Structure 1
Amino acid sequence: MWKPDRYGAQPLYQQIADDLEQRIAYGEFPPGSPLPSERRLAEQLGVNRSTIVQAYAELRSLGIIESRSGSGTRVSRHKWGATPRHTPNWHRYAEGGSFLPNLPFLRRIREALQQDKSLIDFASGELGADLSPVKQINTLFDSSYTEYLGYDNPQGFAPLRETLVTYLSQYRHIHTTESSILITSGSQQSLYLITQCLLAPGDAVAIEDPSYCYSLPMFQSAGLRLFRLPVDRSGARPEDVYSLYKKHRIKMVFLNPNYQNPTGTVLDEARRKKLLDLASELGLPIVEDDPFSLTAYDGSPPRPLKSMDSIGSVLYIGSFSKIAASGLRVGWMVAPNSVVERLADARQQMDFGLSVVPQQVAAQFLKSDYFQPHLSELRMRLLYKRDLLVQALQKHLPDMLSFSIPSGGLHLWCKIKPEVNDGKLLEEAIRQGVIFVPGSVYGSNSGCVRFTFARPQAEQIELGIAKFAASLRTLLG
Structure 2
Amino acid sequence: MKGFRTNQMIAVDWKPNKQDKTPIYRQIVEYISEKIAAGDWPIGSRLPSQRDMAQTFGVNRSTVVSAMEELISYGILESDFGGGTRVASNTWSIRMSQPPDWNKYIRSGFFRPNLDTIQTINHMEFEPGYIRIGTGELSPELYPGKLVSKIFRRMPERIPSLGYLGPLGLPELGEALAQWLAVNQGIEAKASNIMVASGSLQGLQLVSVCMLKRGSNIYTEAPSYLKSLQVFQSAEMCLHGVQMDEEGLEYWKIKDASNDSLLYTIPSYHNPTGTVMSERRRGEVMNFCQSRQMPILEDDAYGQLWFDEKPPKSLKARDKTGSVIYMGTISKTMAPGLRIGWVVGPEAVVYRLGDVKMQTDYGASSVSQWMMTELLTSGDYDIYLETLRRELKARRDNALTSLSQYFKGIATWNKPSGGFYIWLCLKHRVFMDRVFADALKAGILLNPGNMYDYGENHAIRLSYAYADPEDLRKALKILADIIEKHQKR
- TM-score band w.r.t. shorter chain: 0.7 to 0.9
Shift of 1:410: 0.3
Counterparts of 1:10-25 in structure 2, within 5 Å, are 10-13=8-11
1:425-476 superposed Cα distances (whole Å, 9 cap, x missing partner): 0010111121110001001523110011100112222111112112213333
Equivalent-residue separation in structure 1 for 2:271 and 2:309 (angstroms): 19
Q: Map of 1:221-370 to 2, 5 A cutoff?
A: 221-241=234-254, 243-245=255-257, 251-370=261-380
Kept in 1: contact 2:227–2:452 (CA 8 A)? yes
Match of residue 158 from structure 1: 171
**Aligned mates of 2:452, 2:96 — CA distance in 1:** 47
Aligned to 2:19: none
Q: Does residue 203 in structure 1 map to residue 213 in structure 2?
A: no
Distance 2:93 2:468 in 1: 54
Instruction: Name the amino acid aligned to 1:226.
Output: L
Task: Please tell me whether the aligned partners of residues 248 and 275 of structure 2 are also in contact (alpha carbons under 8 angstroms).
Answer: yes
Alignment of 1:24-39 (within 5 A): none
Match among 44, 48, 56 for residue 49 of structure 1: 56
User: Residue 8 of structure 2 aligns to a residue in which SS?
Assistant: coil
Determine the structure 2 residue equivalent to 1:421: 431
The SS at the match of 2:267 is coil
CA distance in structure 2 between the aligned counterparts of 1:182 and 1:34, rounded to whole angstroms? 52
CA deviations on 1:366-410 (whole Å, 9 max, x unpaired) are 222422221111111111111111111110111101111110110
Shift of 1:120: 0.9
Counterpart among 211, 214, 218 of residue 231 in structure 2? 218
Equivalence for 2:464: 453
Query: For residue 176 of structure 2, what is the amino acid of its counterpart?
Result: T
Q: Paired residue for 1:122?
A: 133
**Deviation of residue 414 (structure 1)?**
1.1
Q: 1:471 aligns to what?
A: 482
Question: Aligned equivalents of 1:161 and 1:143: distance in 2?
Answer: 20
Within 5 Å, which residues of 2 pair with 1:90-101?
90-101=102-113
C-alpha displacement of 1:50: 7.8
DSSP-derived class of the 2:92 partner: helix
Alignment check: 8 A CA contact 1:34 1:75 kept? no
Code of the aligned partner of 1:159? E
Q: Is the 8 Å Cα contact of residues 186 and 329 (structure 1) preserved in structure 2?
A: yes
Consecutive unaligned residues of structure 1, counting only runs of 5 or more, are 1-5, 15-32, 66-73
1:87 aligned to 2:99?
yes
Q: Structure 2 vs 1, CA of residues 34 and 333 (structure 1 numbering), >3 Å: closer, same or farther?
A: closer
Q: Show the counterpart of 2:81.
A: none
Cross-structure match for 1:109: 121
CA separation in 1, counterparts of 2:278 and 2:264? 16
Which consecutive segments of 4 or more residues in structure 1 shift more than 6 A?
A: 50-53, 74-78
Task: Give the aligned partner of residue 393 of structure 1.
Answer: 403
Give the Cα–Cα distance (whole angstroms) in 2 for the partners of residues 201 and 50 of structure 1: 46
**Structure 1 residue 262: deviation in Å?**
0.5
Secondary structure of 2:298's partner?
A: strand
Counterpart selection for 1:143 from 154, 172, 179? 154
SS of equivalent residue, structure 1 residue 389: helix
Q: Is the 8 A contact 1:244 1:250 kept in 2?
A: no
Q: Which amino acid aligns with 2:8?
A: Q
State the 1:45 CA deviation: 2.6
| Secondary structure of the corresponding residue to residue 402 of structure 1 | strand
Residues 398 and 7 of structure 1: CA distance in aligned 2, closer, same or farther (over 3 Å): farther
Using the TM superposition, give the Cα deviation of residue 43 of structure 1 relative to its aligned residue in structure 2, in angstroms: 8.6
| Shift in CA distance, 85/341, structure 1 to aligned 2, threshold 3 Å | same
Q: Which amino acid aligns with 1:260?
A: H
**Deviation at residue 321 of structure 1 after TM alignment:** 1.1
Tell me how far apart the structure 1 counterparts of residues 344 and 246 of structure 2 sit (CA, whole Å).
28
CA distance in 2, matches of 1:200, 1:76: 39
CA distance 1:12–1:393, change in 2 (3 Å): farther
In the other structure, the counterpart of 1:26 is none
Give 1:10's aligned amino acid. Q
Q: Distance in 2 between matches of 1:363 and 1:303?
A: 24
The CA deviation at 1:142 is 2.9
Structure 1 residues 421, 49: CA separation in 2 closer, same or farther (over 3 Å shift)? same
Where does structure 2 lack aligned partners over 5 or more consecutive residues? 13-25, 33-46, 78-86
Alignment coverage as a number of residue pairs:
433
Task: State the one-letter code of the partner of 2:270.
Answer: Q
Counterpart secondary structure, 1:195: helix
TM-aligned CA distance change 1:258 to 1:156, over 3 Å: same
Instruction: Evaluate the alpha carbon distance shift between residue 38 and residue 429 of structure 1 in structure 2; reply closer, same or farther with a 3 A threshold.
Output: farther
Report whether the alignment pairs 1:191 with 2:191: no
How far apart are residue 299 of structure 1 and its match? 4.2
TM-score, normalisation: structure 1? 0.84
**CA distance in structure 2 between the partners assigned to 1:327 and 1:203 by the alignment:** 32
Distance in structure 2 (CA, Å) of the matches to 1:76 and 1:265: 51
Instruction: Give the counterpart letter for 1:229 in structure 2.
Output: V
Which whole-Å deviations, capped at 9, do the CAs of 1:28-85 have from their partners, x for residues lacking one? xxxxx9965879x9893325638999xx9xx9xxx948xxxxxxxx99998356x994
One-letter identity of the residue aligned with 2:189: T
Deviation at 1:418, TM superposition (A): 1.6
In 2, the alpha carbon distance for the partners of 1:97 and 1:177 equals 38
